[in-house]
Homo-oligomer: A and B are copies of this chain.
Amino acid sequence: MFIYHTIAEIREYVREARSKGHVIGLAPTMGYLHEGHLELMRRAKERCDTVIVSIFVNPTQFGPGEDLDRYPRDLERDARLAEEVGVDAIFNPSAGEMYPAGYCTYVDVEGVTSILCGMSRPGHFRGVTTVVIKLFNIVKPDAAFFGQKDAQQALVIKRMTADLNLDLEVITLPTVREADGLAMSSRNIYLDPVQREAALVLNRSLLKGREAFLAGERDPSKIINLVAGMIRGEALAEIDYVEIYSHPDLQAVARIRGPALLAMAVKIGRTRLIDNILLEV
């Protein structure tokens, strides 16, 4: 497996793979890989001849006061894990390589970025779409792989890809969870054992919400109240948002009539965790 730090190197690598007729897959990550990432890579490997993983803690998607500086990083460990699942190359640029002096171009997806995480993290999705289009343009993959844990991110990227006529397939893969239900996240490392236990309320309350939905409840506010009430019962948890939107178009709904996304962001201590579940019959 190769590790490249410059755009010129990864471009040359892709050019060579392409010249052999390879189908190219890209999994964009911020590193500190967990089983959720590795599952993306395995699925990518099934569909593509050459799989490239980008590892880049993208500064433009972090707001002031967020965890950019303490975001966990371990390239050596990441490289070992990626190689084990058959990744062909890692692209690990510096911030200066991606955003050289004078950089001033940004991509905005409007509408669907103003709700959910876009509301709590203004500018976050602008940073995400900007770095993702750059990665797409650098690697020119046939397919790119994202996790359903970041449901809104995946939908925003699909929207951008369609709107800007990018010629690739965006594939979303199911959330991978720990045995006890906690959604895999690089940020789980921030949790101490007591917080780790408290964090189970995210998945538990999502399941409770889906249970109500499957029992026939179609009023989003009733499901939200049920879920939020359960989270409030956990002393260490502080709700950022619990919301239901139609899926995949992320529109507010007065009643659930088609597939819907029950999504939440909850702070456990200083750690902000997100999770979601699809409501569909």
List of B residues within 8 angstroms of A112 by Cβ: 104
- Interface core residue of A108, A129, A160, A249 (most chain B CB under 10 Å): A108
A: number of interface residues (CB 8 Å): 28
CA distance A104 to B7 in the complex (A): 29
Residues 150-178 of chain A, each 1 if its beta carbon lies under 8 Å from chain B, else 0:
00000000011001111100000000000
- The answer to whether the Cβ of A137 comes within 8 Å of any Cβ in the partner chain is yes
CB-based nearest B residue for A99: B163
On whether the beta carbons of B105 and A108 are closer than 8 Å, the reply is yes
List of B residues within 8 angstroms of A140 by Cβ: 167
- The answer to whether the Cβ of A23 comes within 8 Å of any Cβ in the partner chain is no
On whether the beta carbons of A103 and B165 are closer than 8 Å, the reply is no
On whether the beta carbons of B167 and A137 are closer than 8 Å, the reply is yes
List of B residues within 8 angstroms of A68 by Cβ: none
List of B residues within 8 angstroms of A108 by Cβ: 105-108
- The answer to whether the Cβ of A222 comes within 8 Å of any Cβ in the partner chain is no
CA distance A104 to B249 in the complex (A): 12
List of B residues within 8 angstroms of A252 by Cβ: none
**Whole-angstrom distance from the CB of A110 to the nearest CB of chain B?**
4
CA distance A112 to B102 in the complex (A): 10
On whether the beta carbons of B110 and A107 are closer than 8 Å, the reply is no
Given A105-B108, A112-B104: A134 and B165 interface contact (C-beta under 8 Å): yes
CA distance A133 to B129 in the complex (A): 14
CA distance A109 to B105 in the complex (A): 4
CB-based nearest B residue for A156: B105
Residues 97-123 of chain A, each 1 if its beta carbon lies under 8 Å from chain B, else 0:
000001111111111100000000000
CB-based nearest B residue for A105: B163
* A residues in contact (CB < 8 Å) with B: 7, 11, 102-112, 129-130, 133-134, 137-138, 140, 159-160, 163-167, 249
